[in-house]
Amino acid sequence: MALARPVVLGNWKMNGLRADGLALAGALADKAAKLSGTLGVFPPATLLGAVARRLEGSGILVGGQDCHERASGAHTGSISAAMLKDAGAQAVILGHSERRHGLGETDALVAAKALAALDAGLRIVVCVGETEQEWLDGRTLERLDTQLRGSIPAGVDADRLIVAYEPVWAIGTGRTPGVDEIEAAHRHLRDRLAGLVTDGQTVPLLYGGSVKSGNASDILAQRSVDGALVGGASLDAREFWAIYQAGGGA
């Protein structure tokens, strides 16, 4: 099923113990009586089951932050897509820059993980974004093309795919591209997706990188921006909800 706009997803990254995660989930569930858009949280794997249970019936989507490309086997420390699903996840973030750049994940690995996640019945949130040097060199769109082509498996159902444009240099830095740069990148992605995926123009395109309540309305007002992938600001229920509202969500 297509997701209602705005699509605002919170990536909690490696933050929170059980009490924090449950308090945050509870505060969001209290606000989200009847969601007009799509709100989602991506807790650390240790909290996935508890958060999914806490949010049952709230309409808030819950997902994992990564999965292994294999269905099972001798992969110490890794988590399969089916395990995420079993714990209550409906989606998974793949190709986040902290994994691409911090852990050396390639486009091919992201595509393999995407296939595994789709096989397990999850939606995939595929992240793409240029480095600061690529941005300075004016190679943003070229970079996005390569990542998009390399990371998205052929034949993916548009309803199961979300793409997040996250400039590496904007993540956790308080810096963002200008809104017209964001819009241009999204328009470009929309155009490319139409050639890669059947009904690709319907895929939600999220912007991520230092989104806060203070800049969310400007960013989310852009025509080709369907929502946001939020890191730091998603750890505060009021701030996260304010971002969702800034995008027209109620």
**Residues carrying an active site annotation:** 96, 166
Read out DSSP for 53-97? Answer: HHTTTS--EEEES---SSSSSS-TT---HHHHHHTT-SEEEES-H
Estimate to the nearest angstrom the gap between the alpha carbon of 108 and the chain centroid.
19
In the complex, least distance from residue 76 CB atom to ligand PGA, rounded to whole angstroms: 26
Q: Which is nearer to ligand PGA, 99 or 192 (CB)?
A: 99
Query: What is the spatial distance between Cα 170 and Cα 211, in angstroms, rounded to a whole number?
Result: 9
In the complex, least distance from residue 144 CB atom to ligand PGA, rounded to whole angstroms: 16
What percent of the residues of the chain are helix, what percent strand, and what percent coil, each to the nearest 5? 45, 15, 40
Q: Which residues contact 116 (CB under 8 A, 6 or more apart)?
A: 67, 68, 69, 70, 71, 80, 81
The amino acid sitting at 34 is: K
Q: Which is nearer to ligand PGA, 52 or 233 (CB)?
A: 233
Residue nearest ligand PGA by beta-carbon distance? 231
Q: Which is nearer to ligand PGA, 177 or 231 (CB)?
A: 231
Q: Which is nearer to ligand PGA, 82 or 128 (CB)?
A: 128
Q: Which is nearer to ligand PGA, 32 or 211 (CB)?
A: 211
In the complex, least distance from residue 209 CB atom to ligand PGA, rounded to whole angstroms: 5
In the complex, least distance from residue 246 CB atom to ligand PGA, rounded to whole angstroms: 14
Yes or no: say if 58 and 26 are a contact pair by the CB < 8 Å rule.
no
What are the residues binding ligand PGA (CB under 6 A)?
A: 11, 166, 171-172, 208-211, 229-233
Distances 214 to 170, 221, 241 between C-alpha atoms, Å: 15, 13, 12
In the complex, least distance from residue 155 CB atom to ligand PGA, rounded to whole angstroms: 27
Yes or no: say if 91 and 113 are a contact pair by the CB < 8 Å rule.
no
Closest by alpha carbon to 200, among 154, 234, 166?
Answer: 154
